[in-house]
Amino acid sequence: MRKMTPENLRSRLWFNNPDDPEMTALYLERYLNYGLTREELQGGKPIIAIAQTGSDLSPCNRHHVTLAQRVRDGIIAAGGVPLEIPVHPIQETGKRPTASLDRNLAYLSLVETLYGYPIDGVVLTIGCDKTTPALLMAAATVNIPAIAYSVGPMLNGWFRGERTGSGTIVWKARELLAAGEIDDDGFMELVASSAPSVGYCNTMGTASTMNALAEALGMQLPGSAAIPAPYRERGQMGHATGKRIVDMVWEDLKPTDIMTRAAFENAIAVNSAIGGSTNAPIHLNAIARHLGLELTNDDWQAVGHKVPLLVNLQPAGSYLGEDFHHAGGVPAVVGELMAAGLLPHPEAGTVNGHTMGENCALRRSETADVIRTAADPLRAEAGFINLKGSLFDSAIMKTSVISKEFRQRYLENPDDPMAFEGRVVVFDGPEIFHATIDDPALAIDATCILVMRGTGPLGYPGGAEVVNMRPPAYLLKQGITALPCIGDGRQSGTSGSPSILNASPEAAAGGGLALLRNGDRVRIDLRKFTADILLSDEELAERARALAAAGGYPVPASQTPWQEIFRSLVRPFSEGMTLRGADKYQDVAHG
Ligand code: FES
Ligand code: MG
C-alpha cells in the first residue's frame, strides 16, 4: 500500500531539499525557533496540518481547540509531525451579513495555506455549517491527502421535559411570540435551552447534514460524524483520525481518489435518508466543481428524490443528535440503505482504505424509532425536487418536510392533484418582510404565496437564509401556520418549511422573480416539477424591458472589499455559489 517514501514527501522541498541546502536552511530555521527539532522536520516524517476552525469567535467549532490535542497525539503516534494552522472563522449565527459569504473566503485562504507551506496531509476540523464545505472545497482543489474530523453535535436540548432542537425551536418560539403566548424573556429562555453544551446544532440542520455527508462522501472515519462533542468517543475519534492521516500520506490516498462521482451519488442518497438541509446541494455542487466533476440539481432529483426518509430527527422528525448517535449514526443509515438496495455505490472508497460497503454493510439501526428501516420509513420519496419554469431555471424543494396540513390544503385538490396556484405577495428582502408582514393592507389570506427576492448570492452577498416566511399574526391565530414560500435566498437547514428556494438565476441576476408584482398569480406543479408566472410571454417581455430600462433589479452597495470581489465573481446557487476562475484550478499541489 505504501506509495510514498520519505524522499518524495512534498514537505522535503522546504525542509530537506538536497538540491538546495541554502534554501532548506532558510525555510527550516524559523520552525526551530519555537522548539521543533531538526530530527522532527528532517527525519522523513510526514508534516500534517490540522486546519483549525475553532476559536472564541466560533462557538460551534470551539471545542476543536481542545480536541486538536488528541489529533496531535494520534499524528505523533503514527510517526507524523502535527502543525496546527488557523482557518478564517465562519460562525453561522454571528457573522454579518451572512456566514455563507465567508465560505469562499475561507476556501481561498486554506488553498493558499496548503499550497504554499510544507504540508504533506491535512486534518480538516469541520462542524458549523459552512466550515465543512469550505474545507472540503480546499482539499479538493489542492488534492493532498485529507481527512475530515467533525467536532460533533451539542447534547440534546431540553425544556420542561421536551427536546428543544437548535434553530428548529426558534421557528416555534417565533410563532409563540407572534401569537402572544410567550414574552421576550420566555423567547430567550426557550431558545437558550436548545444549546446545552459545546458542539454544533443538534438538529438535522446544515451542520449535522454536512458532517453526515462528509462521512457519506468517504472523507471521515466511519461513525465519526454523529458522536456528540462532549462524549469521550469524540476525543478517541480524534486520535484515530490523527493516526490515519499519516498512513494516508504514505498511501498517497488523495481527495480525488475518494470524492468521485460515485461518492457524491452516495451522499445524495444519504441526504434524502437523513432529511438533510437544502443547503447541501449548494455545497456538494461546489465541492464537485472544485474536483472537476459536474454535479447539478437535476442529479439531486434523479438520485435522491425516490430515497425514503429514515432518520427521525428535527426538523423533519422528532429526535436530536444524541439520539442519532445512539441509533448508529451514518453507518447505520448506510447499512439500512444497503439492505434495501438503495445505496447507489457500495464500491466507493473511503479514507480508511475500505469501501463504503465494507464499512457499513453489516451495520443496522440500533434504535428502531430514530433510524427506521427502508421498509418502514418516516416518509417515502423524501429527497429534493428541482423545479423549473418562467420563475427560474432551478429551485430546490425539500419534500420531506411537507406537513399534513400543507399537503391537505395545497396538494390534495382532486381536480388538480400535486399542483396549486396562488396570488403572490412579494418582499424585497427580509427587512421589508419583517416590517410589513402583519400589515392588513397586504390582504394576505390562506390562498397567497409569499415571495422573497433580492436574497441570492448577489442580492444579499452570500445569500440570506430568509425564504421560509411565517404567515401574518392574524392567520397564525386562525391556525394557519404555513403558506407556500418561494425565493432566491436560502433557508436554514433547521427550518421545517417546504419552501421553494435557492432559485437560480436570482432576481439580481435577471431571474424571473424580478418580474413579479403583488397580485400576480403563480402556479406550482409538483408532478411536472414546474413553477410558472401566469402571465403572457408578451407581458413578461414588456416587464423585462421596463426593468432593464430602470437599471435592472436593485442591488445594494457592498459594505466590504470582499463583498465587492465576491459579487464580481460568484456563480448562482445551482452552480454551487463558487467563484468564476477558482474552479478551473485543480490538483494544485501536483499540477
Ligand atoms: Fe453553527 Fe448551527 S449555528 S452549527
Ligand atoms: Mg444556517
Task: Render pLDDT for 340-357 as a digit per residue (tens, 0 to 9).
Answer: 999 999 999 999 999 999
pLDDT tops 90 at residue 75: yes
Bridge pairing between strands 521-525 and 419-428: antiparallel
User: What's the rounded Cα separation, in Å, for the pair 57 and 35?
Assistant: 28
Fill in the DSSP letter of residue 44: S
User: What's the rounded Cα separation, in Å, for the pair 357 and 534?
Assistant: 48
Q: pLDDT exceeding 90 applies to what percent of the chain? A: 91
Q: How confident is the model at residue 393 (pLDDT cuts 50, 70, 90)?
A: very high
Q: How confident is the model at residue 528 (pLDDT cuts 50, 70, 90)?
A: very high
pLDDT tops 90 at residue 514: yes
Is there a contact between 268 and 304 (Cβ–Cβ < 8 Å)?
yes
- If you take atom 1 of ligand 1, which residue's CA is the nearest one? 128
pLDDT tops 90 at residue 172: no
What is the position in ligand 1's atom list of the atom closest to the CA of 58?
Answer: 1
pLDDT tops 90 at residue 399: no
What is the position in ligand 1's atom list of the atom closest to the CA of 127?
Answer: 4
Question: Does the structural domain 391-550 have CATH classification 1.50.10.20?
Answer: no
- If you take atom 3 of ligand 1, which residue's CA is the nearest one? 92
**CATH no., domain 45-156+196-361:** 3.40.50.2300
Is ipTM strictly over 0.90? yes
Phi then psi dihedrals of residue 149, to 5 deg = -140, 110
**What is residue 249's predicted lDDT score, i.e. its pLDDT?**
98
286 Cα to the center of ligand 2, angstroms = 17
Is there a contact between 498 and 406 (Cβ–Cβ < 8 Å)?
yes
pLDDT tops 90 at residue 497: no
pTM above 0.95, yes or no: yes
pLDDT tops 90 at residue 556: yes
Fill in the DSSP letter of residue 1: -
Q: Where in the chain is the domain with CATH 3.50.30.80?
A: 391-550
Cell of 510: 435577471
User: What's the rounded Cα separation, in Å, for the pair 503 and 463?
Assistant: 11
Q: Which amino acid is at 476?
A: L
**What is residue 176's predicted lDDT score, i.e. its pLDDT?**
87
Cell of 541: 417581455
Listed in sequence order, the residues at least 6 apart from 550 whose beta carbon sits closer than 8 Å to its beta carbon are none
Q: Which range, of 18-32, 116-130, 493-507, averages the lowest pLDDT?
A: 493-507
Q: Where in the chain is the domain with CATH 3.40.50.2300?
A: 45-156+196-361
3-state class of 82 per DSSP? strand
What is the position in ligand 1's atom list of the atom closest to the CA of 166?
Answer: 2
pLDDT tops 80 at residue 465: yes
Q: How confident is the model at residue 581 (pLDDT cuts 50, 70, 90)?
A: very high
pLDDT tops 80 at residue 222: yes
Q: How confident is the model at residue 498 (pLDDT cuts 50, 70, 90)?
A: confident
The answer to whether the Cα torsion of 192, 431, 314, 422 is positive or negative is: positive
Average pLDDT for the chain? 96
277 Cα to the center of ligand 1, angstroms = 12
